[in-house]
Amino acid sequence: MSAMPGEKAVIDRERLNDLISILNRQGYTVIGPTMGEGAILYDVVTGIGDLPAGWGDEEEGGRYRPVRRSDQALFGYSKPAQGLKGHLHPARQRLFAAERAGNGFRVLKDEGKAPRYAFLGARACELAAMRVQDKVFDNGAYRDPHYFAKRDDAFIALVTCAQAGGTCFCASMNSGPDATEGFDLKLAELGSTFLIEAGSERGAAILAQLSPRPATDADRQAGVAQIAKARQQSRSMVEGVGPMMAARLEHPHWDEVAKRCMTCGNCTMVCPTCFCTTVEDVTDLAGNNAERWRKWDSCFSVDYSYIHGGAVRSQGAARYRQWITHKLSHWVSQFGVSGCVGCGRCITWCPVGIDITAEAKALGG
């Protein structure tokens, strides 16, 4: 069968091994879910054996537990602990190195080659987050070379969710659990088979090598039912949250959240769209060699809002407000999209379980 973009086919689950080897042969490092230390994490995968067969997850505000499933599903969890941000926009990135030359300095040529990534099992919300970051790192006038060196060529084999996690609310953010574009392949796990379709030519070329057979009506219906199930989510974002937030910049609730918020920054670190960085220069003791590094930063740190004379946002209330209003409101004016895709990671991984949907509701009330 020749696979046309958009046309649904079925492959056996063992074919994922072929998919991974084909991608490897094409020079991709395949990143997929693995059962890590205490949580499902993205890491290099070389075959089905590396995937978290039979593992699911339980998530609530401030709580995560991997749990055994009653079946051997490979993608039976909601989402890995940290998303794919760390691969495209790493926590530490060297921008350049330089050495002293006379009275000035010389920038050294960067010999490093960006890895070529294929993301197997990316969720709809994660793809949505990448597309948000695409806008951040390319504003038309400036295109961040470090991000796009990895992003431009990244191969995306999306796997839609069979069920939402306890903190997911993508349905109300229109960013999941299904995706209609932006992937090379889209899969849905149906027992021992996968419903699969190509979203690009290179995806179609690979799909043709996976012994696909045409999907039956029953396969298609199972796929539709699965998405409908994943759409049932216990959390949702309040309607019209952007304008609402913008009108609540002064509100007693900010002090109330600040009593609970530890300004620890976990929410920004795990958020797949948060992009803020700080730049650090390091020198050797003699001052002959220097490097400039870009590191993840958080609007919850005091230095983040430091301008000469002091930090603008010295209070926790101001920092929480900055974070949530940027995500849900100002991001839209800045980048034309919401800064939140509803993945729920900030809720799960907040050590005290502060819930962006609940805080938005409390502010809207």
Partner 1 sequence: MARTRPRLGVFKFSSCDGCQLSLLDCELELLAVTEAVEIAYFLEATRKDMKGPFDITLVEGSVTTPHEAELIHKVRKSTGTLITIGACATSGGIQALKNFKDVKDFIDKVYAHPEYIETLATATPIADHVTVDFELRGCPINKHQLLEVINATLNGRKPVVPKHSECIECKSRGTVCVMVAKGEACLGPVTQAGCGGLCPASHRGCFGCFGPMETPNTAALSERLKALGSAPRDIHRLFQTFNANAPAFRQQAESLEDRV
Q: Is 310 in the site for partner 1 (CB under 8 A)?
A: no
Q: How far is the CB of 308 from ligand SF4 (least distance, A)?
A: 26
The answer to whether 280 and 295 have CB atoms below 8 angstroms apart is yes
Residue 197 near residue 186, CB atoms below 8 Å: yes
Applying CB under 6 A, does 31 fall inside the site for ligand SF4? no
Number of residues that bind partner 1 (CB under 8 A): 46
CA distance 335 to 31: 28
283 binds partner 1, rule: CB under 8 A: yes
Our finding on whether 299 is near ligand SF4 (CB under 6 A) is no
Kindly state whether residue 168 participates in binding ligand SF4, applying the rule CB under 6 A.
yes
Quickly tell me which residue has 């000469």 as its tokens. 308
CA-closest candidate to residue 150, choices 137, 141, 159, 132: 137
64 near ligand SF4, rule: CB under 6 A: no
First-last CA distance in the chain? 55
Residue 165 binds which entry of ligand SF4, partner 1, none, CB below 5-8 Å type-dependent: ligand SF4
Closest distance to partner 1 from the beta carbon of 267 (Å):
10
* Residue 82 contact partner, candidates partner 1, ligand SF4, none, CB within 5 to 8 A by sort of partner: partner 1
Q: How far is the CB of 249 from partner 1 (least distance, A)?
A: 21
**Residue 237 burial (10 A CB sphere; 0-12, 13-18, 19+):** buried
DSSP string, 18-42: HHHHHHHHTTPEEEEEEE-SSSEEE
Minimum CB–partner distance for residue 303 and ligand SF4 (Å)? 15
Q: Please select the residue that binds partner 1; options are 4, 262, 276, 312, rule is CB under 8 A.
A: 262
Nearest approach in angstroms of CB 325 to ligand SF4 is 12
- Residues 356, 340: contact at Cβ < 8 Å? yes
Selected binder of ligand SF4 within 118, 354, 360, 363 (CB under 6 A): 354
The site partner of 210 among ligand SF4, partner 1, none (C-beta below 5 to 8 Å per kind) is none
Nearest by Cα to 327 from 136, 58, 48: 136
Give the shortest CB-25-to-ligand SF4 separation in angstroms: 29
Q: Give the shortest CB-295-to-ligand SF4 separation in angstroms.
A: 18
- Tell how strand 310-311 and strand 306-307 pair up: antiparallel
Rg (CA), the chain: 22
- Regarding 264 and contact with partner 1 (CB under 8 A), the answer is yes
Q: Please, are residues 98 and 109 in contact by the beta-carbon 8 Å criterion?
A: no
Q: Is 44 in the site for partner 1 (CB under 8 A)?
A: no
Q: Looking at this protein, which amino acid is placed at residue 127?
A: L
**Residues that bind ligand SF4 in the complex, under the rule CB under 6 A:** 78-79, 123-125, 161, 164-165, 168, 170, 176-177, 230, 261-267, 270-273, 300, 327, 340-346, 350, 352, 354, 356
